[in-house]
Amino acid sequence: MEEKMYSYKYPHPAVTTDCIIFGFDGAKLKILLIERGLEPYKGRWAFPGGFLKMDESAEQGAKRELMEETGMVAEYMEQFHAFTEPNRDPRERVITIAYYALCKIQKVRGGDDAVKAQWFDIEDIPQLAFDHDRILRHALSALRERLHFRPIGFDLLPEKFTMKELQLLYEAILDVKFDRANFAKKMLHFDLLVKLDETVWPTPKRKANLYSFNKESYEELKHKGFKLEF
């Protein structure tokens, strides 16, 4: 008897991907979520994601699901963990491969089996479907660890930004408060920033310098690795 393709004697788990997309609005860290339109957990919020097709890699599947469910494209996604608990999905035995990405905030829309897509403040995340609360904790931990070894900001901040905006980004990710002068000194030490001949007025009484990233130094440090201690 001829065996069918992808048919085996032993049971195999299904595989999904989940996308944890971080954004920054200039003051707070944001997370992109979708409202599920199907059971299980219909009406609950979750990460964009879904079942992997037989002819695609996990990264391809993650990017496809992100586009289908939110209309968003993430050029670079980083795999950070696989979640394999036997009972994590009530439908069947499902392993999920989780990716995270740092993206500038943009308009999103629900699509496919997602009723809608929406950005949420990291401090105001609703109860999530499946084990996505746990996945979020792992994603935040991975992001914080990465922050110490690779410069973060280029993907989240506008082309021109103030030192205060950069400080708020790092504070939002690490959930700490920094001394303003010490933070600026630390950032300027790595030659990551270019001080521009432009200023803005965040308040009527205070003028702030604008900066941009030194792209050559940024890429060199990103690939070579560096250790940032506060």
pLDDT of the residue at 221 = 75
Domain that holds residue 43: 14-149
User: What pLDDT band is residue 230 in, cutting at 50, 70 and 90?
Assistant: low
Render pLDDT for 63-74 as a digit per residue (tens, 0 to 9). Answer: 999 999 999 999
Q: Does pLDDT of 214 surpass 60? A: yes
41 and 85, same domain (yes or no): yes
Q: Does pLDDT of 1 surpass 70? A: no
In a domain, 88, yes or no: yes
In a domain, 156, yes or no: no
20 and 130, same domain (yes or no): yes
pLDDT of the residue at 121 = 96
Domain boundary among 97, 120, 149: 149
Domain boundary among 98, 114, 149: 149
Which of 32-36, 65-69, 101-105 bottoms out in mean pLDDT, i.e. has the lowest?
A: 101-105
In the chain, how many domains are there? 2
- Say whether the peptide bond before residue 40 is cis (omega within 30 degrees of 0): yes
Site of tokens 């999530």: 128
In a domain, 86, yes or no: yes
21 and 91, same domain (yes or no): yes
Which of the listed ranges 96-100, 162-166, 182-186, 215-219 does the model predict with the highest average pLDDT?
A: 96-100
89 and 27, same domain (yes or no): yes
Average pLDDT, integer, range 27-31: 94
Render pLDDT for 155-208 as a digit per residue (tens, 0 to 9). Answer: 899 889 999 999 999 999 999 999 999 999 988 887 888 999 998 877 667 788
132 and 181, same domain (yes or no): no
97 and 137, same domain (yes or no): yes
Render pLDDT for 119-137 as a digit per residue (tens, 0 to 9). Answer: 999 999 999 999 999 999 9
Which position has the higher pLDDT, 49 or 113? Answer: 49
212 and 111, same domain (yes or no): no
Q: Does pLDDT of 104 surpass 80? A: yes
142 and 197, same domain (yes or no): no
In a domain, 5, yes or no: no
66 and 94, same domain (yes or no): yes
The chain-wide mean pLDDT, for the chain, equals 90
DSSP letter string, the chain: -PPPTT--SS---EEEEEEEEEEE-SSSEEEEEEEE-SSSSTT-EE-SEEEPPTTS-HHHHHHHHHHHHHS---S--EEEEEE--TTSSSSS-EEEEEEEEE---------TTEEEEEEEEGGGPPPBSTTHHHHHHHHHHHHHHHHHHS---TTTS-SSEEHHHHHHHHHHHHT----HHHHHHHHHHTT-EEEEEEEEEEETTEEEEEEEE-HHHHHHHHHH------
Percent of all residues in the chain with a pLDDT value above 70, rounded to a whole number: 94
